[in-house]
Amino acid sequence: MSTPTADRNASTTPRRPRAWRWLAVFVAVTLLHWLAAEWFERHHGPQQPVAPKHVPVQIRLLTPERIEQQAKPAAPAAKPAEKPAAPARPKRAPSPPHTLEAITPPVAHPKVAAAPEEAASAPEASDAAASASARASGASQAAAPGNGNTPAAPAAQVSHGVKFQVPPSGELKYDTFFNGARNEPGTIHWKSDGQHYEMVVSIPLPFVGTFSWTSRGHVDAFGLAPDQYIEKRGRRPADFTVFNRNDKQIVFTRTPNSLALPDGAQDRFSMVMQLASLVRGDPDTYKPGVTREFYVADNDSGETWPITTIGDETVRTDQGFVSARHFMRLPRHDGDKRRIDVWLAPSLGWLPVRLVQTEPNGTEVELLWHGALSVPKVSGASDDASNDMTNQPASAPTAASASVSVPAPTAEPSAAQPAPESVPETAPEPLPAPPADAPMHP
């Protein structure tokens, strides 16, 4: 038979393990919170504050203008340099080539020199032929612009405008931050051949998917000209923005509305490369306070963005400190909370070393340069040109060899020189040709 003391001991005995269990849970939760705080402190926030101390006073406002195109006159100028004598001979064929007449007919001069009247009229005929050939050659050079021989020819093809130079192609890796928390690394794929371009910005987000922005287009008289802009957020369907150049319209898949397509229009990310190309072409123009306007189309609308120059700053990355120029989009109206900050680095070919985009709802996405997956090839054009020169066959004529083989115009005999004595009776024997394996000297 149980006693009250035994019942009391039986009821109090199982409570001790339960108390220790709650204490262990409390310690485990506290430890997990401490580890989470340490991780958040280590991976939290961007490396530098985004807000500048002050926005410089606007000193100059730049609007979209035509760019200076320098690639067109360079191609025609290189072709005559390889074969300078070939296009010149057919143009001078109608006029009497006096240099060849003085060398080829050695026997005809003694017979003509016996008549004094003909000898007296010979200088006048030669002068008339020389003046006619000079007029013909001048007319042929004026009729063929871009041949690289006269300064007026390339000047007629160069279109004057703002300086513009597309950055070199490259694959860049970026540390990504979403609302201050570090995520998986992102990439910026940039490819351009001077006539077409492609830009893909990719940022992976946990539990949401990859955010990507794609811009494809070409280069026209106003710089980068997007043809298609694709915006994809996670697993949601992609939104397309099409720049119809034929109809001068911007159409969207997100909305049935359409907009007029102005010259120099950009999308949200081609604007960054358009700015980089303008700064790369003329860095001294973009001083603190200089503002440039861009018409930017989103996935359902379009408006003018004023981008102002904040100044030169130093960006701290995992690879070290990088000097860059800070640009910021000014508010377009009262209450405008969307903001874009871009830092362009000269050491990266003026590609972005840091990019921060703040949405109207406060969401902040940041890309901070981490390294290059493939280094931008700034000197790629010169390397290709040197390879073309080294692969050129030895028998191909060069500009130096062509200038040496053409007879000098001073070889023409003047009227005061007697024709029978100046020209030998027999033509000189040609020099023996060098062997095929003989080294060529300039």
> Higher-confidence residue: 67 or 79?
67
pLDDT of residue 69: 75
Residue 379 pLDDT class (50, 70, 90 cuts) = very low
Q: What's the whole-number average pLDDT of the chain?
A: 72
> Higher-confidence residue: 135 or 285?
285
Asked if pLDDT for residue 163 goes beyond 70, the answer is yes
C-alpha distance from residue 164 to each of 2, 65, 228, 254 (Å): 99, 11, 22, 33
pTM for the full predicted model: 0.59
Cα separation, 236 vs 209, in Å, equals 9
pLDDT tens, residue by residue, 387-439: 333 333 333 333 333 333 333 444 444 444 444 444 444 444 444 444 444 44
> Higher-confidence residue: 187 or 77?
187
pLDDT of residue 116: 47
Cα separation, 286 vs 350, in Å, equals 13
Cα separation, 213 vs 188, in Å, equals 10
Cα separation, 40 vs 101, in Å, equals 91
When mean pLDDT is compared across 152-156, 182-186, 244-248, 321-325, the lowest value belongs to 152-156
pLDDT of residue 406: 36
pLDDT of residue 418: 46
State mean pLDDT over 200-209.
88
Instruction: Report the Cα–Cα distance between both ends of the chain, in Å, rounded.
Output: 126
Asked if pLDDT for residue 344 goes beyond 60, the answer is yes
Asked if pLDDT for residue 213 goes beyond 80, the answer is yes
Asked if pLDDT for residue 146 goes beyond 90, the answer is no
C-alpha distance from residue 143 to each of 42, 76, 131, 132, 152 (Å): 70, 14, 18, 16, 11
Whether the Cβ atoms of residue 247 and residue 254 lie closer than 8 Å to each other: no
3-class SS letters over 20-32: HHHHHHHHHHHHH
Residue 75 pLDDT class (50, 70, 90 cuts) = low
